[in-house]
Chain A
Amino acid sequence: MDIHLELKELSKFLSEYSTSLMAVGVHTSRIVRNTARIAESFGFFVDMTIFQKTIIMTLRDKDNTHSYSTVNKIKPMALNFEINSRLSTLSWEAYDEHLSLDELRTKYQEIISNPRMSKWMVLFLVSCANASFCRLFTGDWQAMGIVFIATLVGFFVRQKMMEKHINHLFVFIVSSFVASMIGCTAVLYNIGTTPQIALGTSILYLVPGVPLINGIIDIIEGHVLAGVSRLINAALLIISLSIGLSLTLLLLGVQTL
């Protein structure tokens, strides 16, 4: 096959592959490693620059005579550990068994289109998680019950709004406002012995844990720019959820937290 056509086709696939990895929340050095590994199995080298919104990469052959560059937007996908794990496995498969490009594409499509866990199941499990989180902060049983309901409603609102592709910062504000309003009933009616903790933990399901961890891992491994932009994104989300909470505190006139 013509070397240019080969470089072009592989480039298209690799940029598709790496933008999906970035979207599902893989840390930067793993993206670089996985992509380079697939390129290597075809006898090429790849160099890439990763930003929060785009990935720029150049694919070149061994003696540097031919190259192909692509710039691709990061896809809007939700965090997904299963895709992370299976795409990493795919890169080793490509390396060890020298899969052809067509085989890679079909396997990639199959992994990407794998359905997520049922959203009702997620809703229930997140509510349980936040309720037990309330217990970890020494909340009592009444507080746990209120946090469970607050999370159930708040997370449901978040899921519904996310489906309509509303701006995610706005979604966080509304979701934390709804959840903290319900959590605030504990303080208003003085339910149980630890109403403050019920209010304080009712919005913790919104804290973006995985982006925070990824950001710091990136900084430690030297991808400072990518890491800082992840951290800033996470900080924006935390500020949004604080805005929702302070709206509740302001409206209901609760002073202490």
Chain B
Amino acid sequence: MMNFDLLQAIIFDGCFAAVASVGFAVISNPQRNSLWVSALLAAIGHGLRYCLLHSTSIDIASASFIAAFSIGMLSIVFAKKIHCPAEVFSFPSLLPMIPGMFAYKTVLYLVKFIQCKDDDALVNILVLAFKNGVTTTFIMFALVVGVAFPMFIFHKQSFAVTRILKLVKKN
């Protein structure tokens, strides 16, 4: 069951994920008012993934999917409140979960594969390269499908969020 240590670790994880999401988001010049939302969503998403990975036996891709799905659901709620496209804050909140390390490790192991002169070690390196590559692909698809799924469900609402701004102003 959930104990105090795990809860503390999850909260820490969420806080650092929020800082990471804000920092990586500012490279793409986001709107100031959406920055706080993306930090909050990143904290919730990454914390949820941490919780799933450490308290259940679920794999990292499925955990990422569940985390991304909850980010997608919440981002539609917030998109209606702030009236800007949902991806403006759902994308930055995904950034801390992007499998960057798996991605470049794939390339590093492939480089190692051509450099390696020991035939027995080759298979091991190939397996590592393949494992990292597949993990990268699966996590990426899980993240994007997870976050886009709610947008497909609430098709009409998510496309017209920027419009509501004008209708509200008129009234």
Contacts and interface: CB of A to CB of B under 8 A. Distances in A.
B143 interface: yes
Interface stretch (B20-28, B56-64, B118-126): B20-28
Nearest to B165: A89
Nearest to B167: A96
Given A136-B20, A203-B104, A245-B104, A88 B96 contact: no
Interface residues of B, number: 52
Contacts of A207: 98, 100, 103-104
A238 B23 contact: no
A30 interface: yes
Nearest to B142: A216
User: Which applies to chain A's interface (DSSP): helix, strand, loop or mixed?
Assistant: helix
A232 to B, nearest CB: 14
Residue among A25, A117, A129, A241 with the most chain B CB within 10 A? A129
Interface string B68-100: 000000000000000111011001101110101
Contact of B29 (A89, A116, A126): A116
Nearest to B137: A216
Measured as residues with beta carbon below 8 angstroms from the partner, the interface class of chain A is: 35 or more
A135 B101 contact: no
A137 B101 contact: yes
B135 interface: no
B26 A121 contact: yes
A197 B111 CA distance: 20
User: Which applies to chain B's interface (DSSP): helix, strand, loop or mixed?
Assistant: helix
Interface string A73-90: 000001111111100110
Complex A-B, nearest 7 residue pairs according to Cβ-Cβ distance, in ascending order: A129-B23, A207-B100, A242-B107, A92-B163, A132-B16, A79-B28, A216-B144
19 contacts: A25-B28, A78-B28, A79-B27, A82-B31, A89-B83, A89-B165, A92-B165, A97-B166, A126-B24, A132-B20, A135-B16, A136-B17, A200-B101, A207-B103, A216-B141, A238-B104, A239-B107, A242-B104, A245-B108
Interface of B: 12-13, 16-17, 19-31, 34, 46, 83-85, 87-88, 91-92, 94-96, 98, 100-101, 103-105, 107-108, 111, 140-141, 143-145, 147-148, 159-160, 162-163, 165-167
Given A85-B31, A136-B96, 13 more contacts: A30-B85, A89-B162, A91-B162, A95-B163, A97-B166, A126-B26, A128-B19, A129-B21, A133-B16, A133-B96, A204-B101, A213-B144, A242-B107
